[in-house]
Amino acid sequence: MQKYHCPGSPCYKVSDTGQGIKPEVINSFYKFATNTSTIGTNGEVGSGLVLVLCKELASRLNGIINIESNIGVGAKVMIDFLLVA
């Protein structure tokens, strides 16, 4: 995890060099009821549950999540917490 510059709010980024996340999975990851199980780079099975939990936690803390991904290159998940005055 890495903190990056974001004017006026704390922002964090997690990136990897795995297989990336398909666009249709990114578009549906907020809905855990959707079956998004995939096989990871090392043969592990992923359901996307951690991203759903992170999204829920971020929204309760006035934050937003953005995902950038390139298939075959990896993904970046950025969380920006908006400060309320």
Q: How confident is the model at residue 7 (pLDDT cuts 50, 70, 90)?
A: confident
Task: Give the domain CATH number at 72.
Answer: 3.30.565.10
Q: Tell me, what's the pLDDT at 85?
A: 65
pLDDT value of position 30: 63
Q: How many residues would you count in the chain? A: 85
**pLDDT > 90? residue 73:** yes
Number of domains in the chain: 1
User: Is the pLDDT score of 19 beyond 70?
Assistant: yes
Those residues whose C-beta lies under 8 Å from the C-beta of residue 85, and which sit 6 or more positions away, are none
Mean pLDDT across the stretch 44-48? 71
Q: Which domain holds residue 38?
A: 2-81
Compute the distance between CA of residue 50 and CA of residue 53 in angstroms, rounded to an integer.
5
